[in-house]
Structure formats: structure tokens, C-alpha cells
Amino acid sequence: MGTTKIVAGGQRRLSNSQVSAVLASRLLRLGFRPYKSDRERFMITIPEDGSPRELIELGQPIKGGRFFHSNTTTKNIALTDEFTAFCSEVGLTDCYYWSICLPVRKAALDALDDELQRFNRKINNQFSELRKCYRFEQLILALHVRYDELSDAIDLHAHFICRVPSEHLESVRHVLRTKFSRPDLDVGPIRNVAAAVNYMLYGVFNNREMIGWPDHALEAVWRLTQQKRFRYVRTGGGFAKWRRAARLANDNAATESKNKQPYPVDPTRPRFLARITAKVRGKRLAALLYEHPAQAPDVPSQANEYSTASRLVTQETAQSSKPTKSLDLPGRPPQGWDSIRTAIKRITAPISSLAGKIHGIGKKLIRRLLC
């Protein structure tokens, strides 16, 4: 995340954040706004082995939900760990890792929204029937979006892990074969559940492949993700219940964190955002995420400011009543002080003049007496 690997052949392999930056720059060139904020971010790693901490610049934060890998790394790691823990506790008896594709055809780029709705509706309806008839249990599912160069269309397919009672296995496989295109329904055991879930989550949008997509395909998929209408990853069955129970167990801690008052932020210093888990050079590390301070606006010096103000005053006519705008800057008297000072001068001016006259008369009397 922020580092570059050297792979076979001496070629450089970009990190997730670098790949995301390349895609974001392409979207910017296409006229979109892929950034959440103009303030750049950085992270400081916290290695557990005692090695030195490392500061890694991340650039501007990008939006887009699951469109960018770097947005979902922490969530993906957490969900993978949760599912692995669930399987360790409950087991993988009668569990299978399968995939299905959008029925009949690939999704046209100009109808991507409608085709994804059709695919979601088909999955919901068929899985609901399988659950009622054959005790089918979908545990975790991820939709994948791939560009097919030959047809210039999007290949929509879903990978999922499910639990099917052995007596209903062939019936469920028959339904999936007849209702979806190109199903992969292997009945072998899941050898590495963490690797399977990791592929499912990171493959929703394959950023490394997307770098080579044509502009019109990238634009169509970006527009799709900005609607925030579709869930590309979903959980269900026993795994969803297990997650809810785990969250209820930590409910008190979550409530305390939600009710915690925000601490004051100094805009001139980096702002702490979150404690995250990052993958650096293939290794998971805890890290602290920060946001750089906003650049302070250029404030003119006092000499320039007062000379400008004096020019503005001399250009005002006596009858002008248009208010002038001023800034409250550190080190300056508060706004409105000039008018108060002028009013005080008007009051004290006659007194000062009279005092001057009395002083002159007194000096003359003293001279006459001395003479």
C-alpha cells in the first residue's frame, strides 16, 4: 500500500494505492471527480516485530465505494477474518464454493444498470426458492464485474459459498444449471477458505485489469458504482446470524465509542482519522491514518494591508455609505475597533483644544508677574 514490488522479469508491480491513483487520474481526465477531498493523507505503520515505523504518503482520498481496492482493504481483511473464525467454530460440512453468471447474455455497457438489476433479481428469487425447498444456505456472496473485449460488454458473475444438505445437493445443482449461465458447481471440499473469500472480495472490481480497459467501459462502470443502489458483497444464513451475535457481544464498547465527544482539531496540524490494517509489501500491518492540514491562505502583511486600507478610505466619498469588509486576523484589534476609536477622538478633541488654550493663557500670566 504505497510501495512498489519487483516481480519476475524485473518489472515493477504497483501497490493497490498506486493502481487506484492511476485509475483516479484517468477518471479525472474523463471529466469525473473521483476524490473525496483536496487534502492528502498519509499513514504511519506500527510493526509488531519492533522494526522502525514507516510514513507512507497516500495522496488525495478517493471515493467510489468498492470501485477502488484501497477503499475496502480494511473491510475486506476484517470480513475475511470473520468468515475464517466462523468456519473454525461451525465447520465446513456440506459447504461449497460455486459461481454463476448472468443468464443468456453479457451486460451491454449502455444497459449496465438494468442488467445488474436483472442479475440481482434472478439471484434473490432463485436463492429464496432453493432455501424454501432444499434448505439451501448462502453464507457469503460477491458480484464480480469484468470487461469482455471480444463482445465489448461486461461479464457479470457471482462467486458464493453456500451450505447444501447432501440429500438435496443434486437438486440444487440442477436448478442452478438451468437458471444461470456458465455455472461452476464443483462438489469438492474448500481447501483454503481464507483464500477463497479473499479472491471473492478483492475481485469485485479488478483494478489491475481496469487500468487496461477502454475509456467508455471505465466510464460506464464508474457511473454504475456512484448510484449506491447495489450491494456487491452480501452475507446470509448462519454466517449473518453469527456476525450479529458477535456485534451484540461488543455492543457496549460500540455505544461508548459512538457517544464519545470529538476532540478539538488544530487546523494547522495533521488530523488523526483512524487506526487501520494495511498490507505493505505483502505483509499485514497495523497503521495510523492521518490527513495533512489544509494549506493556510496567503495573508498580506500588516504594512501592505494598512496601505491598501488607507487607499480604500481615501477613495471613498464623504457621502458613501457602502460598508467595507475586513478580516479578523490574529494579532489585530477586533472588527469595529476603528469606528470606536474615531468616536472617542470626536469626543475628546474639544477637551484637548480647550486644555491647550488654558495652558497658553496661564503661561502669559506667569510671564507678566515675573516681569
Q: What is the average pLDDT score of the chain?
A: 80
- Residue 299 DSSP one-character state: -
Spatial separation of the C-alpha atoms in residues 306 and 312, rounded to whole Å: 10
Euclidean distance between CA atoms 217 and 147, whole angstroms: 7
Residue 249's pLDDT band (boundaries 50, 70, 90)? confident
According to the model, what pLDDT value does residue 283 have? 82
Please state the rounded mean pLDDT for residues 85-95: 94
- How many angstroms from the chain centroid is the CA of residue 297? 26
Q: Which of 116-125, 143-152, 221-230 has the lowest mean pLDDT?
A: 221-230
Report the SS3 class of residue 345. Answer: helix
Task: Provide the 8-state DSSP code for 31.
Answer: T
pLDDT at residue 8 in the model: 44
Q: How many CA atoms lie within 13 A of 306 on its CB side?
A: 5
pLDDT value, residue 69 = 85
| pLDDT above 70 (res 265) | no
Sign of CA dihedral 25, 26, 29, 30: negative
One-letter amino acid of 296: A
* Cα→Cα distances 343→179, 246, 340, 355, Å: 87, 70, 5, 19
Would you place residue 73 in the very low, low, confident or very high pLDDT band (cuts 50, 70, 90)? confident
**The pLDDT of residue 156 is above 70:** yes
Cell numbers given for 195: 483464500
Tell me the average pLDDT across 184-213.
Answer: 94
Whether residue 353 has pLDDT greater than 90 = no
Q: Which residues pair with 5 in a beta bridge?
A: 13
- pLDDT recorded at residue 110: 93
pLDDT band per the 50, 70, 90 thresholds, residue 313? very low
Give the residue carrying C-alpha cell 470501485: 67
Between 268 and 320, where is the model more confident? 268
Of 56-65, 149-158, 253-262, 280-289, the one with minimum mean pLDDT is 253-262
The full DSSP string for 179-210 is: HSEEEE---S--S-HHHHHHHHHHTSB-HHHH
* pLDDT for position 228: 73
Distance (Å) of CA 115 to CA 106, 141, 155? 9, 18, 10
| Residue 294 pLDDT | 76
Candidate from 13-22, 193-202, 207-216 with smallest mean pLDDT: 13-22
Question: In this model, does residue 317 exceed pLDDT 90?
Answer: no
- Please check the confidence at residue 230 and state whether its pLDDT lies above 50: yes
Range from 10-19, 39-48, 123-132, 331-340 that averages highest in pLDDT: 123-132
Of 70-84, 101-115, 134-148, 265-279, the one with minimum mean pLDDT is 265-279
The residues near 78 (Cβ < 8 Å, ≥ 6 apart) are: 277
pLDDT for 233 beyond 90: yes
Q: What percent of the chain has pLDDT over 90?
A: 49
